[in-house]
Every structure is written in structure tokens, then in C-alpha cells.
Amino acid sequence: MTEVKKLSWWENPVLRQVILGTHDDGSPLSQLRGCNHLLSMIFSLLLQAWRTHIDDTKPGFARLEWGRETQYGWDPDDVPGVRIVDFPPPETVDNEPVPFHVNMMPFVMGDIESLPPSCRRYQPLILDSLYCIQSDEMGKIGYLTIHEGWVEPNTSQRRPGLHVEAAGGQGTHNRVLEMHWGGGSMIEQVLHGGILMASTVAHSCGIWNVVVENPRGVTGPLGDVSMLRSVLDPDIHGYVEPEANELFWITDATPHESLPVKERCFRQYFRLVTSQVSHWFANHSTANPLGIQPAADIIHGDKFGSTVQFDTAAAPLSRLSNE
């Protein structure tokens, strides 16, 4: 597991900007240059404010296990243990794996006919994921991400940096959108909704066992919560890096990140976002070529920009990405 260290003031992106401002003669913060006691007080107040957004009384993740208790007792067909899932083999050309990528593609959960042929090899993994949660997601619109491709040393396949999905896609939209990307809760040890994911490379993702309360009050663009590293402690809050092929459940308010790999590898990543999705960004998501529409407000435009257009009628007609 990667060693997790608290950030120094300089390593914290927010505090670093304050420090830089004190050395910029054109910034009002330059008035604080040399006033280390005031800076220390300001930073302490910021850390205190960030701590109020961390709720460690709710689970941020669940390390799933085989074995489910029913009204008749434990299912005898289940074998207790960490839930290691089988990934389908990637497509190949001349015995070499071929990259493949779909992102947040809407489909009917449990219905293989709602998946395009290129994605149906993931149906067993989808069903394994749905088996883990007790809420009635079967028959509802879910959102599938498959990312298969080569990852170079010291780089990450997915978006690096600590973030949450609940505020994902806000960009610079003046924080006018209330985002939900799967929700997720655990009630009396029963999982409801949320996000299920796995990859074929161990220790390529880091997850904290907390949820970020009121994420809109603390997140940066696209759900960035990197400033919370200064107040997260693995010994207090819990931190894990899943093993290869280990299926994990998280909420859409769970801080997590994609980690750099040590060696060049072909990584397969799977994510199932359950039905509680409020907004679907057409320009950054994969339309289902079978015509399955997202059960969410459809937004056209660059989610990294400031101009968006709502369209709740139809998804864009684009082909499956094969990049």
C-alpha cells in the first residue's frame, strides 16, 4: 500500500496559494507577509472548517465479501471471503489487447439486451455488482464505465487527485448544480445504491472510509477535494487500496483517487453507477447506440466550462468510443 502522508502547508493547494499571495506585491495578501502568527491562525481556521465536512460516522466504502444472509440464514451457495471478481478478457488484435473505453453509458440494469454487443462481456460482472446491494436497482437505468488500456509508469489511468463524484461535473458553473452520481448509503449493514467498481491492477486506486458532507461547500472544480488531505488520517478515518479484481462499493461523496502505477501495464477498470444520477454530461459520456436514454437531466456543453444547456428529451447520437 502507498504510504499516506498528511500534506504540509506548502503541499496543500489552497494554503499554497495563500502563501504565494503573500509574496505577490499585487495581491492584498502581501499585507500578511512576515505575519506568520496571523497566517498560522488563518490556516488553523481553514483546517477546522474542512474538518466539519468530513463525516466518519458513515461508511465511505464497503469491502464486499461473498456471503449473503437471507430470511432462511446464510445462502449455502456463497463462500465467505473478499469478493474477487472475474474480468472478461480484453479484445485482442494479433494477440495484443486493444484499448476500449465507454464512460457513463446508460443501460437497463440486469437486461443484457440493453447493452451493445461490445459491452455484453461485462454482464456477469454487472450482475455480481447488483447482487451486492439490496435496493431494487434491477430494471432501472444505470451507468456503465469500462476503461481498458495501457498505463505508463508513474501515471494513472483515471483522473488523478482526490475527488468525490457527488460534485463531479460542476466545473465553473457557479455551483448552481446539485449533483448526485449514484448516492449510496448503508442502513443496518445493507447497501443501497452507490457506485461499484473494480480494476485488474492492485493498489491503483485509493479510497477513504468517510463521506464529505455538504460537498458543494468544499469541493473545487469537478469534485476536487485535494485540500482535505491535510485533515484526513488513515489511522483515524480508514484508507484502503483495493487488490486486483476486488469489487468495492463507495458512495458518491467518498473521497477517492486513481493512483500512478509502477510499471507499464494493461489495466481494465469497471464502474457501475446506480440509478440515483441527477445530471448526465452528453459531451463527456458515451451514448448507448441502442437508444437507451439516461434517466437524468441531460446537459450539453463542456463540463469544464461555464456554459451548459439542459436537454431532458434525448441523448446525443454518438458512437461508442473505442479510443
> What is the per-residue pLDDT across 117-171, written as a single tens digit (0 to 9) for each?
999 999 999 999 999 887 789 999 999 999 999 999 999 999 889 999 986 444 4
Cell numbers standing for residue 83: 469478493
Crossing angle of helices 36-51/13-22, nearest 10°? 160
- pLDDT value of residue 108: 98
Confidence (pLDDT) at 307: 44
Average pLDDT over residues 182-187: 88
Per-residue model confidence (pLDDT) at position 166: 84
Write the single-letter amino acid at 92: T
Provide mean pLDDT across the span 74-86.
Answer: 66
Strands (E), 75-182: 81-82, 92-93, 96-97, 100-108, 141-151
How much is the mean pLDDT over the chain? 85
Residue 64 binned pLDDT confidence (cut-offs 50, 70, 90): confident
Average pLDDT over every residue of 191-210: 96
**Cα distance between residue 314 and residue 298, in whole Å:** 7
pLDDT score at 302: 66
Q: What's the CA gap between 98 and 93, in Å, rounded?
A: 7
Whether the per-residue pLDDT at 5 is higher than 80: the answer is no
Q: Reduced to 3 states, what is the DSSP secondary structure of residue 37?
A: helix
Helical H runs in 153-280?
234-237
pTM for this prediction: 0.84
Beta strands at 65-66 and 69-70: parallel, antiparallel or unpaired: unpaired
User: Rounded CA gap, 52 and 212, in Å?
Assistant: 9
Which of 23-37, 56-70, 84-98 has the weakest average pLDDT? 56-70
